[in-house]
């Protein structure tokens, strides 16, 4: 009789298959993963390039502005600059990094709806003139510091089924959005577009549906008030696989293209997306070393040389990374603790692995986005080194 697999077996075999696929197609990466000092984040630049090309292939009419905050390592940015990507930045430091690669300011936008004055000033002086807004105060700020710039308004859209929702912090309803665009015009700015974010790691096509429909409603209302908008920015949200399969870029693209045909029969002058996670998330492996083991009550604990303060902050918010160890044997359930003394520093619970020994490498897969950018040196432990191959 065929035996059904346990949840633990399913989990570990998924991580194992993922690791084997990732390394078998990347012999150089595979070698480095086994030799590099830990903790290190190993990024595959040719994989990032391939992701960019894939997105462009499926959405040929859409310009990509990579969201720098997902991973701002110079190697990553340079790779994307070389293939012609645009960039979305939120701070002077991010902007400096992108400009230093020779990226022209026309390929840079800033979509954070609330920006420090110092940054708006630097961006404006650098030639960047496209800024997101979602409040009257922000319009006033931009009108004062960056006169005659183009502004695009952020509307709220559902973030249901997104593992990292963003809609509670930013965005306004379409009526308020219209008033904000009109106010921008009065202030001498150019009301230029609409933006939304469906939530990061978005696995729900319906979010794109509502978002594009709302955007088209706003677009028409703006036209009837004499404002001809130029660009539709569809934000980020493209998911990558962690412990389960997710929507593929071709599925999202197919659906979004259909929505655009329906809701924007006259295409906007420019269509934009600004993916972060979807470009780099599954192109990085965080290599850690097991530094300790303990049994606490019923729980088996493993301790590794990184943690939620040194790169795995999203673990606190619910991102579950696939974890792999090169061992065979009976699976055990583990809690993986981070390196620091803080009790918040727990990377994952209910992880099934064959028993590792102290000194073994633990591979944390899909760690390319929102890891090292979040890292601090809390408790004196180093941030993972980023190795670009």
Enumerate binding residues for ligand PLP (CB under 6 A). Answer: 67, 69-70, 88, 111-112, 197, 200, 235-238, 274-278
C-beta of 158 vs 235, nearer to ligand PLP: 235
Can 341 be counted among the known catalytic residues?
yes
Catalytic residue among 4, 341, 343, 359: 341
d(CA 296, CA 228): 64
C-beta of 65 vs 334, nearer to ligand PLP: 65
Please tell me the total number of residues recorded for the chain in this structure. 389
- Sign, CA dihedral 131-74-86-368, equals negative
- DSSP class of residue 348 equals E
Q: How far is the CB of 69 from ligand PLP (least distance, A)?
A: 6
Please name which of 162, 321, 352 lies closest in space to residue 238, comparing C-alpha atoms.
Answer: 162
Q: How far is the CB of 280 from ligand PLP (least distance, A)?
A: 9
Determine the residue with CB nearest ligand PLP. Answer: 236
Q: How far is the CB of 239 from ligand PLP (least distance, A)?
A: 8
C-beta of 141 vs 154, nearer to ligand PLP: 154
How is the chain split among helix, strand and coil, in percent rounded to 5?
Answer: 40, 25, 40
d(CA 119, CA 9): 50
Q: How far is the CB of 52 from ligand PLP (least distance, A)?
A: 13
Instruction: Tell me how crowded residue 228 is: count the other CB atoms within 10 A of its CB.
Output: 11
- Sign, CA dihedral 138-139-145-146, equals positive
- Beta carbons of 338 and 374 less than 8 angstroms apart: no
Q: How far is the CB of 225 from ligand PLP (least distance, A)?
A: 25
- Beta carbons of 142 and 112 less than 8 angstroms apart: no
C-beta of 277 vs 361, nearer to ligand PLP: 277
Partners of 270 in the β-ladder? 231
C-beta of 370 vs 381, nearer to ligand PLP: 370
Residues noted as catalytic: 341
């Amino acid at each position: 009789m065929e035996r059904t697999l346990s949840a633990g077996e399913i989990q570990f075999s998924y991580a194992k298959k993922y690791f084997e696929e990732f390394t078998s197609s990347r012999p150089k990466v595979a070698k480095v993963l086994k030799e590099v000092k830990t903790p290190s984040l190993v990024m595959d630049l040719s994989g990032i390039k391939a992701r960019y090309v894939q997105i462009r292939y499926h959405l040929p009419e859409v310009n990509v502005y990579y969201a720098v905050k997902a991973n701002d390592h110079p190697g990553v940015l340079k790779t994307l600059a070389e293939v012609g990507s645009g960039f979305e930045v939120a701070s002077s430091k991010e902007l400096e990094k992108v400009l230093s690669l020779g990226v022209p300011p026309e390929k840079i936008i800033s979509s954070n709806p609330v920006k420090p004055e110092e940054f708006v000033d630097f961006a404006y002086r650098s030639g960047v003139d496209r800024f997101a807004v979602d409040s009257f105060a922000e319009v006033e700020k931009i009108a004062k510091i960056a006169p005659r710039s183009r502004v695009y308004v952020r509307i709220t859209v559902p973030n249901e089924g997104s593992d990292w929702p963003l809609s509670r912090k930013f965005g306004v309803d379409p009526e308020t959005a219209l008033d904000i665009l009109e106010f921008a015009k009065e202030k001498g700015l150019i009301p230029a577009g609409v933006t939304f974010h469906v939530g990061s790691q978005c696995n729900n096509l319906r979010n794109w549906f509502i978002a594009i429909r709302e955007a088209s409603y706003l677009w028409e209302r703006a036209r009837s008030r004499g404002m001809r908008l130029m660009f539709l920015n569809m934000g980020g949200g493209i998911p990558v696989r962690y412990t389960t399969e997710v929507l593929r870029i071709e599925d999202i693209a197919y659906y979004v293209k259909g929505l655009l045909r329906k809701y924007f029969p006259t295409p906007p002058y420019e269509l934009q997306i600004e993916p972060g996670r979807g470009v780099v998330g599954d192109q990085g492996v965080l290599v850690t070393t097991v530094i300790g083991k303990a049994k606490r009550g019923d729980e088996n604990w493993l301790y590794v040389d990184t943690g939620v303060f040194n790169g795995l902050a999203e673990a606190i918010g619910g991102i579950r990374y696939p974890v792999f160890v090169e061992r065979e044997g009976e699976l055990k359930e583990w809690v993986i603790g981070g390196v620091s003394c803080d009790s918040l520093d727990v990377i994952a619970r209910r992880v099934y692995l064959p028993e590792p020994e102290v000194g073994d490498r633990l591979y944390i897969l899909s760690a390319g986005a929102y890891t090292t950018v979040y890292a601090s040196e809390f408790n004196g432990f180093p941030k993972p080194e980023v190795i670009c191959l």
